């Protein structure tokens, strides 16, 4: 199954995507995690993206798309994948659609996780990531509203009924069961 996790920063995509990836035995591809690992290990990619991630800005599309698409083309993704944090704007969504079409693949589900903004901000403040201070959180939420949220409309318009809205509030296991149910709906 080819799945996209969609939703605001801090809504729980990373936790839920990791659990589901284990359950379905398919790779979890998080562009944010790839960037953080590259920064931590001092790779050239890390140097290129640090300014953007530190400030809650989107890493340029060309770089991000190349990383996501090459991860999808790995043999491990033959039986499916979970994308988390990609695509994050319309340009990325279109580039992904082109790459998938070229490979004869489609997206089966977009899991749209939701939670009230006040809850999301509290979660991020407790997560303790370097980009989780008040100012950067605010920027990431603005970027989400302006650039990322239109991606939902893209999938609703192009892929019909693949988008499933899932309430992200509650126990981690409870949310996971809602997601699993949404996959077969």
Task: Output 6 or 26, the one with its CB closest to ligand AMP.
Answer: 6
Structure tokens that stand for 26 in this block: 């398919």
For 29, what's the count of Cα atoms within 13 Å in the CB-facing half-sphere? 23
Burial of 140 (0-12, 13-18, 19+ CB in 10 A): buried
Radius of gyration of the chain (CA): 16
Structure tokens that stand for 179 in this block: 């997601």
Q: How far is the CB of 55 from ligand AMP (least distance, A)?
A: 8
What are residue 165's DSSP bridge partners?
Answer: 112
Among 35, 81, 112, 154, binds ligand AMP (CB under 6 A): 35
86 binding ligand AMP? (CB under 6 A): yes
Task: Output 109 or 140, the one with its CB closest to ligand AMP.
Answer: 140
- Using CB under 6 A, which of the segments 29-37, 101-109, 120-128, 154-162 binds ligand AMP? 29-37
- Using CB under 6 A, which of the segments 18-26, 84-92, 95-103, 108-116 binds ligand AMP? 84-92
Query: Which of the residues 140 through 169 are near ligand AMP (CB under 6 A)?
Result: 140
Q: How far is the CB of 121 from ligand AMP (least distance, A)?
A: 14
CA atoms 172, 173, 179, 182: torsion sign: negative
112 binding ligand AMP? (CB under 6 A): no
Q: Which of 183, 185, 174 is nearest to 4 (CA)?
A: 183
Binding residues for ligand AMP (CB under 6 A): 9, 31-32, 35, 52-53, 56-59, 64, 85-86, 88, 92, 131, 140
């Amino acid at each position: 199954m080819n799945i996209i996790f969609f939703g605001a920063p801090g809504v729980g995509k990373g936790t839920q995507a990791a659990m589901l990836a284990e359950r379905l035995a398919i790779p979890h591809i998080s562009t944010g995690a790839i960037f953080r690992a590259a920064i931590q290990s001092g790779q050239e990619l890390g140097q290129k993206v640090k300014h953007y991630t530190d400030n809650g800005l989107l890493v340029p599309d060309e770089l991000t798309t190349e990383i996501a698409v090459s991860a999808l083309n790995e043999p491990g993704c033959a039986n499916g994948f979970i994308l988390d944090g990609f695509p994050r704007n319309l340009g990325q969504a279109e580039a992904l659609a082109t790459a998938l079409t070229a490979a004869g693949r489609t997206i089966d589900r977009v899991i749209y996780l939701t939670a009230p903004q006040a809850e999301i901000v509290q979660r991020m403040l407790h997560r303790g990531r370097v980009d989780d201070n008040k100012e950067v959180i605010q920027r990431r939420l603005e970027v989400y509203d302006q650039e990322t949220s239109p991606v939902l409309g893209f999938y609703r318009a192009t892929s019909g009924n693949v988008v499933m809205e899932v309430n992200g509030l509650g126990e981690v296991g409870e949310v996971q069961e809602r997601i699993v149910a949404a996959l077969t709906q």
